[in-house]
Structure 1
Amino acid sequence: MPESKPRRKNKPQSQENQGSHAVDKPMPAWYKPVMFGLMLLGLVWIMVYYISQTLFPIPNIGGWNIVIGFGIAMVGFFMTTGWK
């Protein structure tokens, strides 16, 4: 009768995680404040633009201030995809 293959011994925990992806790594301490800061900065940029009746933050570019504000906020929102 043929013999069965011997069972492999379990690898130590440190060897199992060597090939794992970045999913297992903790987030840096600066990530969450920067993420929320960018979202709030974009919101404040747009609010200042409307409250100042288009005089601030940058008066000469007009409606592009809205694009800049949304762009800053979107960078913060895109950062949420990597937040754990």
Structure 2
Amino acid sequence: MPESKSRKTGQIGQKSKSPARAERGQRRADLRAEKPEPGPLPTWYKAIMFGLMIVGLLWIVVYYLTMGVAPIPQVGGWNIGIGFGVACVGFLMTTRWR
């Protein structure tokens, strides 16, 4: 029975990299190392982020407590959507929080 072709590997189970591919990987690693680490967020960003979450929650609470009379009676049930929308903007801001 003929033998199968053996793989060219540096170690068992790992394929050897071509020189061009290894060089590209090294360049990517160098570029990542050059990027400065982002600093902490300013205080105003955190205040707006938490403020929007609280305003959205309060909007919904006021709508339920006043039985639809406030905050904007003309939009009716959309007040819940407005409250959730405002709160969601605050929650989306948390993705940039460091």
- Shorter-chain TM band: 0.7 to 0.9
Query: Residues of 1 paired with 2:87 and 2:54: CA distance?
Result: 7
Point out the structure with max Rg over C-alpha.
2
Cα offset, 1:26, TM superposition: 2.4
The residue correspondences of 1:66-81 to structure 2 (distance < 5 A) are: 66-81=80-95
Counterpart AA for 2:39: K
Residue deviations 1:2-50 (CA, integer Å, cap 9, x gap): xxxxxxxxxxxxxxxxx526x5132112011111100000000000000
Query: Residues of 2 paired with 1:44 and 1:56: CA distance?
Result: 11
Q: Where do 4+ consecutive residues of structure 1 move more than 4 Å? A: none
The residue correspondences of 1:1-84 to structure 2 (distance < 5 A) are: 19-20=34-35, 24-84=38-98
Query: Residues of 2 paired with 1:26 and 1:47: CA distance?
Result: 33
Report how many residues are paired.
Answer: 65
Counterpart AA for 1:58: I
What SS does the aligned partner of 1:30 have? helix
* TM-score, normalised relative to structure 1: 0.72
Query: Residues of 1 paired with 2:92 and 2:81: CA distance?
Result: 16
For the aligned residue pairs, the C-alpha RMSD in angstroms reads: 1.2
Structure with the largest fraction of strand:
2
* TM-score, normalised relative to structure 2: 0.62
Match for residue 23 of structure 2?
none
